[in-house]
Amino acid sequence: MCVEGRSERMSGSMGPAVSFCAALILTLGCAVYADPAASEPGLLTRTGNELMIDGKPFRAVGVNKFDLLRQFVMGGEEREKAERAIEQIAAAGFRVVRIAGCMFYPKEMNAWAGEDYWKRIDDMFAALRKAGLKAIPCLVWNTYLFPDIAHETLREMLTNRDSKSRQYVDFYISQFVERYKNEPSVLFWELWSELNLGADLESARPYGFYHLNVPAEGAPPVRVRTDNYSTDQMIPFLRELAQLVRSIDSKHLISSGHSIPRPSAQHLRLAGTKGDWTMDSPAEAEIYLRDIHPDPIDIISIHIYNFYDDNIRFGNTDKDSAVILRQFKQMADRIGKPIIIGEAGGQAFDDPNGGVPKFSRSVIEEAVAADYPLIIWWMASVGDELRFELNKTPQLNRLLLDAERRLKARAATRREKTEGKP
């Protein structure tokens, strides 16, 4: 979920730690991975602001299972949970799953030092392929992961290409994309989870702050002033990461992984370290949305929740309404790129009777009405972010799958009209 104040606190051991410095030696020989018996399906492509597959508009509703890779790498009971989750996803009728493409905390990344790390990820993709699922790997989830490994700050990673943290990022992403660029179950690449939410906050935390600072997991005890960064430092960093991915894999599309911009995002950006929490107008929000999705990023990403009143803007005063999705879809259409909802909901277990809360229903209805090509639901609740039990959310599952059916039907009807079919 959201990086600033909404990320999951996770614990757990990876087993005997492997010396991290050995990673640069042992993984240099990381080969391209592809199942020789698997036939490559149609690739997701982009025509302007439309996502296409095999010449037809692509529409889907999927789920987030962000710790799937982590569980496969940890092995044992965690892997068994991951395998059951894949079975649940397929049995429920979903065909798309968004996952983290790496571990969460520095200590867990000790596993990166050996080839067994990649073999376990190979196993994950094999399981996804067998279940008929398409995966969206978010290449980096915990924003602090690689700076913490390098004992550097976020700003160093974003602004200094020769920093250790930036070299770790580039190396890891290049390994992952090179190995799985021919993996049939990869739908597209996502660069980073919600990096935009940490931008332009120095005025609110000028000396330092606390976030994902868990020393037992290899993180520092606090964050310092230079763990703050600006939108204008973030944009070239993401552009360069997208260029790196594109240089290795020219076939798969690239998404940002951003959340919906803060209600004051453009004002905060322009104010620099002074801070300005004035609400953005739709026009100002569109400028921000465009700028944080530079080429060669293909797909605009937003995440929408109502935990922090992020939906209270553009004249909407109803906390249970997601009507702002209409305006963000219109913005993306003018920008000329497809827009997806990479996360939404977070209320799966809020109703003890299994009902679907008003806000979740509103997100589904507004997303269908605005014709979002892809909606990926967060199947958990606040305070219980890692819970994943699709067998206990039947009403929500039905609503989501019905949304997918309606999206596909509308896209097919519009295509027939365009082609002049009766």
Q: Which two tokens stand for residue 279?
A: 């609400």
Distance CA 194, CA 188 (A): 17
- Quick one: CA torsion of 252, 253, 256, 258, rounded to 10 degrees? -110
Q: Report, in angstroms and rounded to the nearest whole number, the Rg of the chain calculated over CA atoms.
A: 20
The CATH class for the domain spanning 60-419 reads alpha beta
Six-digit token string for 4:
């600033």
Q: Is 229 in contact with 199 (CB distance < 8 Å)?
A: yes
H helices of 216-274, in order, are 231-248, 265-271
Per-residue model confidence as pLDDT tens for the chain (422 residues): 644 544 333 333 333 333 333 334 333 334 544 333 333 458 999 999 999 999 999 999 999 999 999 999 999 999 999 999 999 999 999 999 999 999 999 999 999 999 999 999 999 999 999 999 999 999 999 999 999 999 999 999 999 999 999 999 999 999 999 999 999 999 999 999 999 999 999 999 999 999 999 999 999 999 999 999 999 999 999 999 999 999 999 999 999 999 999 999 999 999 999 999 999 999 999 999 999 999 999 999 999 999 889 999 999 999 999 999 999 999 999 999 999 999 999 999 998 888 999 999 999 999 999 999 999 999 988 788 889 999 999 999 999 999 999 999 999 998 888 777 65
**Domain extents in the chain:** 60-419
